[in-house]
Amino acid sequence: MGKALQCKFFGHIISVEKALAIRDGAVTEYKKALLFECDKCGKPVRPRVAGDKHVAHFVHVKENPQCDYTDSALEY
């Protein structure tokens, strides 16, 4: 199981860095409405910034154990 480093956004594959830029540029009330989709399972994901212990990556909005990119659901 790896970390998702790209997703689908309006049918295009984009990097987590691009998704973070889109999210950060959006008006606050529209950030949750942005539809990023897992490129493996098609379920909604959210970009997560890099931290001390992980690289920037996507996390499923609702946990999906059937997906190859399994991670705890992100509180967003």
Question: Taking residues 10-21, what's their average pLDDT?
Answer: 97
Give the chain's mean pLDDT: 88
| Tokens 């691009």 -> residue | 18
pLDDT per residue as tens digits for the range 25-62:
999 988 888 999 999 999 999 999 999 988 999 999 99
Enter the pTM of the model.
0.83
CA–CA separation, 21 and 37 (whole Å): 16
3-class secondary-structure state, position 14: strand
d(CA 46, CA 66): 18
**pLDDT classification of 1: cutoffs 50, 70, 90:** low
* H/E element, 8: strand 6-9
